[in-house]
Amino acid sequence: GQSLEQPSEVTAVEGAIVQINCTYQTSGFYGLSWYQQHDGGAPTFLSYNALDGLEETGRFSSFLSRSDSYGYLLLQELQMKDSASYFCAVRDQGSSGSARQLTFGSGTQLTVLP
Amino acid sequence: SAVISQKPSRDICQRGTSLTIQCQVDSQVTMMFWYRQQPGQSLTLIATANQGSEATYESGFVIDKFPISRPNLTFSTLTVSNMSPEDSSIYLCSVGEENEQFFGPGTRLTVL
């Protein structure tokens, strides 16, 4: 089966840098994604890593090491609006056979303090 | 990108009743996914709905409890049948096959 582990909570101050780690166990791994979800909102896509290395998109970067089954999301120059839940998700074969589907981690609640 | 709408946005229902949630996408998509998210928890995949075939359910979810329709490439419904308070959750429709997945705004269901 699949399992993902990420910290439940992270707190940081405005302007700081925070890293949210994710380790996973899965079969038929295709890639690691990150999603942001504000309270009461729908998850929104942040990044996707299929290959090892760092992907940078503005203030957010995501890293993947396939050999270590590990990735992280790096948020720089934190802003108050970054306070949200962040989910890592693996795209894998899943139990539905041919469909490539997302399996989500338990989520990390990020609180940005002034 | 895809724009997804869901109806209803929220509902309060009595135990033993059923609720059908509608999901409309602004473009044709092959696969649609239904997720459940309990407050403060992660997203759990209920089933994958393909047009023209029966939905594929994940472990712990069965068709009798969560029947799904997929009449065309832009629309799907999920029914929560014979509801109990344990079914209180947010139900989300989603589309996307490769790098990015898009989610509807969710249906917040409370069962009394």
Segment B27-48 mean pLDDT = 92
CA–CA gap between residue A101 and residue A95 (Å, rounded): 9
Report whether B49 contacts B93 (CB < 8 A).
Answer: no
Return the biggest CA–CA distance within chain B: 39
A45-89 per-position pLDDT tens digit: 999 999 999 999 899 999 999 999 999 999 999 999 999 999 999
Q: Using the beta-carbon criterion (under 8 Å), do A99 and B48 form an inter-chain contact?
A: yes
Segment A94-108 mean pLDDT = 75
Phi/psi zone of residue B74: left (φ > 0), alpha (ψ -120 to 50 degrees), beta? alpha
Of A43, A94, A99, the CB nearest to B103: A43
Q: Which of A104, A106, A110 to mutate to test the interface with B (most CBs of B within 10 A)?
A: A104
pLDDT higher than threshold 60 for residue A31: yes
Residue B54 pLDDT level (bands cut at 50, 70, 90): confident
